[in-house]
Amino acid sequence: MMVLSIAYAQKWMGGKSGFEMCRSLKADRNTKSIPVILCSSKSTEADKVWGDVVGADAYLFKPVDRNEFMNKVQELIAS
């Protein structure tokens, strides 16, 4: 069985959205502790709030800065 350390999703993906994926992960007792980073080109406060509502641990705006992304991944894995 594969265990994830972190999940990364774009807000809009083919099929299920990143919001839906995050909500599913956080609703399942087996996966709710996996940190989720959502990424989107939409940089509105409403989108960021919606990320919080579905349980995202971080919400990054595109274009994502590599250093910001790596720092966030390290921070979430360490916590």
Instruction: Classify residue 58: in a domain, yes or no.
Output: yes
Residue 15: per-residue pLDDT: 74
Rounded distance, CA 59 to CA 73, Å?
A: 12
Domain count, the chain: 1
> Considering just the CA atoms, what is the radius of gyration of the chain in Å?
12
pLDDT at 2 over 60: no
Is 28 exposed, middle or buried, given 0-12, 13-18 or 19+ CB atoms closer than 10 A?
A: exposed
Determine the 3-state secondary structure of 40 from DSSP.
strand
Evaluate if pTM is beyond 0.75: yes
| CATH number of domain containing 32 | 3.40.50.2300
Instruction: Classify residue 1: in a domain, yes or no.
Output: no
Residue 71: per-residue pLDDT: 94
10-21 pLDDT, tens per residue? 666 667 788 888
Instruction: Classify residue 43: in a domain, yes or no.
Output: yes
Domain hosting residue 35, numbered range: 7-78
Rounded distance, CA 28 to CA 46, Å?
A: 25
Instruction: Classify residue 2: in a domain, yes or no.
Output: no
51-66 pLDDT, tens per residue? 899 999 999 988 989 9
